[in-house]
Amino acid sequence: MDDFAQGFARLLPFIIGGVIYFLITAGAVKIGVKEALYEVKEDIIKEFKLRDNSKNDK
């Protein structure tokens, strides 16, 4: 059992580092997706405004 504990103790920093890396990456992806969705929403709003303006001009 001593070998297992030593092996686990050696792996623990890598496991913790992997979890931290995953959380940072997941946060960055969340921010990126949020910004992309905001841009798409703005584009859709612009398109509807252009359509409304073109209908009103006729």
Q: Residue 56 is which amino acid?
A: N
Of 26, 49, 45, nearest to 37 by C-alpha is 45
| Distance from C-alpha of 33 to C-alpha of 28, rounded to nearest angstrom | 9
What digits encode the pLDDT tens for the residues 2-54? 899 999 999 999 999 999 999 999 999 999 999 999 999 999 999 988 888 87
| Boundaries of every domain in the chain | 22-58
| Distance from C-alpha of 25 to C-alpha of 10, rounded to nearest angstrom | 24
Asked if pLDDT for residue 57 goes beyond 90, the answer is no
